[in-house]
Amino acid sequence: MSKSARQGPTRAAKPARKSSSRTLGRAEPGRPAAVEAEILVRSARWRRQPRATGTVKSAILAAAKLALTRTASTGPVELAIVLSHDSAIQALNRDWRGKDAPTNVLSFPSAPAGPGRRGGKSRGPSPYIGDIVIAYETTAREAAAEGKPFSHHLAHLAVHGFLHLLGYDHENDRDAEAMERLERKILRCMAIPDPYAPREGGGRAGR
């Protein structure tokens, strides 16, 4: 899977936030006060998957419930998810990661990565944690190649992107294992099988 694009332009992938943000979760003991996510559909290809926005919302809420309970944060969390296409994400990947190729998901944290930031511990006063961009064609190709439902792969990408916004990464094996372990736990709560389990016929789902 794609890595975080670090401090990419959190406004470049989308216009200014609108009043259409949805409150996905309310305050509970040990959980954030609210998770507000704006989902922007930027490609007509997503019409082929009419439940995509619902899948993304469910994945973000599940990720927030588990990942944010590991912090002392009780304030609101805001983010945007852009459902885009290969050519748009390729341009972002080229401009911000120096890789001129499409990818499945990119995350643009609003705060710099660094020690102590994992899990949102150093998010600062702003509730806005950044943007996630997901490409339809790559998501569909990968789901088909791995023999899994589109909705399961999309949920995994949304969770993966959300954790990047909180500072998780897979720069080394130790960090990758920690991130994958949390992804598995979140997806298990959604009744989604382990996305990293070996596939039939050999091989393993990629990061």
- Report yes or no: 43 and 83 within 8 Å, Cβ to Cβ: yes
- Report yes or no: 37 and 83 within 8 Å, Cβ to Cβ: no
- Report yes or no: 138 and 89 within 8 Å, Cβ to Cβ: yes
pLDDT tops 90 at residue 74: no
Separation CA 148–CA 165 (nearest Å) = 25
- Report yes or no: 199 and 148 within 8 Å, Cβ to Cβ: no
Helix pair 52-67, 173-189: axis angle to 10 deg: 120
pTM: 0.83
- Report yes or no: 159 and 63 within 8 Å, Cβ to Cβ: yes
Domain regions of the chain by residue span: 22-189
Name which residue leads in pLDDT, 18 or 45. Answer: 45
pLDDT, one tens digit per residue, over 21-66 is 455 654 455 554 489 999 999 999 999 999 999 999 999 999 999 9
Q: What is the pLDDT of residue 205?
A: 47
CATH of 22-189 given 3.40.50.360, 3.40.390.30, 3.30.530.20, 3.30.1490.70 = 3.40.390.30
